[in-house]
Chain A
Amino acid sequence: MASVTSEQETPGYEVRLDFFEGPLDLLLFLIRKKKINIHDIPIALITREYLTYLEQKQHLNLEREAEFLLMAAILIYIKSQMLLPREKDYELEEDPRQPLVSQLLDYERIKKISQLLRTREEAQSKLWSRKNLPFSLSPPEEQIDLEEISIFDLAEKFFTLLKMKEGQSVTLPEGKKFSLEEKIREILISLKKAQFLDFEEYFYSQSSLEEALISFFALLELIKRKVVIALQDNLFQPIKVWLFQGRQDEYPA
């Protein structure tokens, strides 16, 4: 077994803890660096190396580094197990290091796969398909990464809004009827003025349930005809409705 005192040199290079994805990553790095046989890890040596890294940290951020500390505890536990007197050498499965070794091997495999995926991501990022291209530069460039949202997302949002509206007292404008065509025109006019509509805001501005429903159908119709497009920055971000450039002429307001 490697003695704790024979290797007292501190690492001559600076590697920060945040550089590692987790304790397994750090352990694997140390094992490879020291050219240790992974199936016969000198636990004392690796524990000391490992702790040296943890000590570089002035302040431990518990949320992130708890896992690193847990691993330190596991290493020390394994070491204590190995110090227990025994009559003969371990069978493989009795070796207290065995669970950690298989965990490390699994993790090494995952790292390898990650690297392969990274290579593919790199290669793929240089290919542009038509879907990557901004549709006629509307919406503006900084919004290109927006996700087009599905009808289901839209409907779900709509019903949530409807529920919220239900609680409010609504004054019903008497005798006023809304037609789908009128609403479509209204949406197009506001879109031309404002560039985009905030889905949520728009429904809040509707005076009655009936009007809100008609507006929703009008919007669905416009999406279906590909005159407008509903986009979302990210999950739970506001949904915005944009005009498809070049198409609005087909629906003169």
Chain B
Amino acid sequence: MNTRLKEIIESLIFVSLEPLSLEKIKSLLTDFPPEEIEKAAEELLQSYASNQRGIQIIQAAGGFLFTTKPDFDPYIRQLLDQERKSRLSSAALETLSVIAYHQPVTLAQISALRGVDSAQAVKTLLEKKLIKISGRKKAPGKPFLYRTTKKFLTYFGLNSLDDLPQEEELVSLLEEKQEKKNDSA
């Protein structure tokens, strides 16, 4: 029974092009107790991670997704005749960082935090669907408010926004950097 459940879940994740959430799996497999489904999914992930396989199941944007393992990227690119995937510009990435941590946030707030006008970067991110307009701020001019999207989570391999480093971690990261600087001084 248990093995079978794992196989079912595996097949469901395989056919999903977008991350498949645990809730969705549970809603489909009503014959199985939810906790057994959770356990089976966990085991499935483990078995892919530990076995000698070219593919794995990752958790992204609150769901499970089949991907290849990172080591085989060069071969896959050769097969598909593709260059390395393009990266975001540092302006776009910086803008995205501001939005991720301060959302919902207006363009004026973003530009103030970065010290540069960020209209172009916001436009790029909207086009890439990494951010979306989530409403308007109740302030003069009713400026748009921006939020990150589900695609943002998938793009960076984050399961949820909680996966972003928290304030304390960031502080310790910054302090570490400082100490290193001071030591070498």
Contacts and interface: CB of A to CB of B under 8 A. Distances in A.
Interface of A: 21-25, 32, 35, 67, 71, 103, 106-114, 116-118, 120-131, 133-134, 141, 144, 147, 234-235
B173 A112 contact: yes
Q: With a 10 A CB-CB cut-off, give which of A108, A117, A147 has the most chain B CB atoms.
A: A117
A71 B112 CA distance: 12
B91 interface: yes
Contact of B97 (A35, A117, A141): A117
Contacts of B155: 121, 124
Interface string B161-181: 000110000100110010001
B109 to A, nearest CB: 11
A114 B96 CA distance: 8
A134 B181 CA distance: 46
A147 B129 contact: yes
Contacts of A108: 174
Interface string B93-137: 110111011000000000001111100000000110100000000
A145 to B, nearest CB: 8
A121 B156 contact: yes
Q: With a 10 A CB-CB cut-off, give which of B80, B94, B115 has the most chain A CB atoms.
A: B115
B93 A129 contact: no
Interface stretch (B21-29, B43-51, B68-76): B68-76
A25 B116 CA distance: 10
B85 A112 contact: no
Contact of A113 (B68, B97, B116): B97
Given A107-B115, A122-B87, A141-B80, 4 more contacts: A120-B157, A121-B93, A129-B67, A144-B82
A113 B101 contact: yes
A104 B118 CA distance: 17
Interface in B75-95: 76, 80-82, 84-85, 87-88, 90-91, 93-94
A162 to B, nearest CB: 25
A152 B84 CA distance: 32
A117 B114 contact: no
B93 A127 contact: no
A107 B65 contact: no
A201 to B, nearest CB: 23
A241 B48 CA distance: 37
Contacts of A118: 87, 93
B66 A117 contact: no
Given A124-B155, A128-B67, A130-B17, A117 B116 contact: no
Contacts of A128: 67-68, 73, 76
B114 A22 contact: yes
B173 A234 contact: no
Interface in B10-30: 17-18
Given A113-B100, A113-B101, A235-B127, A23 B116 contact: yes
Nearest to B165: A116
Contact of B66 (A111, A122, A130): A130
Contacts of B5: none
A125 B181 CA distance: 31
B84 A23 contact: no
A84 B104 CA distance: 41
B58 interface: yes
B8 interface: no
